[in-house]
Structure 1
């Protein structure tokens, strides 16, 4: 198969396939709209599992919707000041101190090892190869 420019298409992997396979998580539009985001939002599985899912032992303190709100609201807050399709932003995530720190995480304050200042990146691009409408993809800085 060739594209419109005559290039041979070797393979495609659609956003829909990535969601179906579990590599991307599509955020419910109600949650993103409440944060002031008008485009569809997807998080990589790695970002979702680490920063949205409630860590074991913290179920009485937090919930998925609250943790998702932190990720989305801070994206929306920082995106207001950016005119490009790329954004790196910080937010604070409450995580157990289990030695699983990643390069995109720092202590918020030395007194509290449970609050991590986390950097994520967001890219606004076409929702899919056959759907040029914009979508937001949020991930860890080392992901593509």
Structure 2
């Protein structure tokens, strides 16, 4: 019988490496604490690019800080009602209607195709393979 405790991983891609490579964006802890989130928060590049960065043409109407706040606030609101380490939550996001709809998005109001109801997934797990302290990872539902 194999003793799996003695096996060494073939390769490990750490959270730190993912941040360094730009696949994860760590939210400034001061901002996440303002949203009443105690643990470090990481967003995938896909979430950051699509839902936090201000889309071209909407620069005068929105800012990146406000869009980030929306993601964090809605996560915190849904997380208060959940005891699982896995959470799906919704938020409303304004995006230009240029045919770039994702499976996790739907029209929020029939009269306004710029407003999308977006579903995101959050996982609370170990911060890194060598750091068991909790961290929150927010991603598009089909990302892992």
TM-score of the superposed pair, with normalisation by structure 2 = 0.96
TM-fit CA distance, 1:5: 1.4
Runs of 4+ in 1 over 6 A off after TM superposition: none
Structure 1: runs of 5+ lacking an equivalent: none
**Residues 1:53 and 2:57 aligned together:** no
Cα-to-partner distance string for 1:49-69 (whole Å, 9 max, x where unaligned): 000000001110000100000
TM-fit CA distance, 1:8: 2.4
Which residue in the other structure is 2:114 paired with? 114
How many Å separate the matches in 1 of 2:25 and 2:104?
Answer: 20
Structure 2: runs of 5+ lacking an equivalent: none
Question: What aligned pairs does 1:1-144 form with structure 2 within 5 A after superposition?
Answer: 5-144=5-144
How many Å separate the matches in 2 of 1:42 and 1:117?
Answer: 21
TM-score of the superposed pair, with normalisation by structure 1 = 0.96
TM-fit CA distance, 1:7: 1.5
How many Å separate the matches in 2 of 1:68 and 1:8?
Answer: 38
TM-fit CA distance, 1:23: 0.2
How many Å separate the matches in 2 of 1:8 and 1:66?
Answer: 44
TM-fit CA distance, 1:88: 0.2
1:17 match: secondary structure:
helix
How many Å separate the matches in 1 of 2:84 and 2:6?
Answer: 29
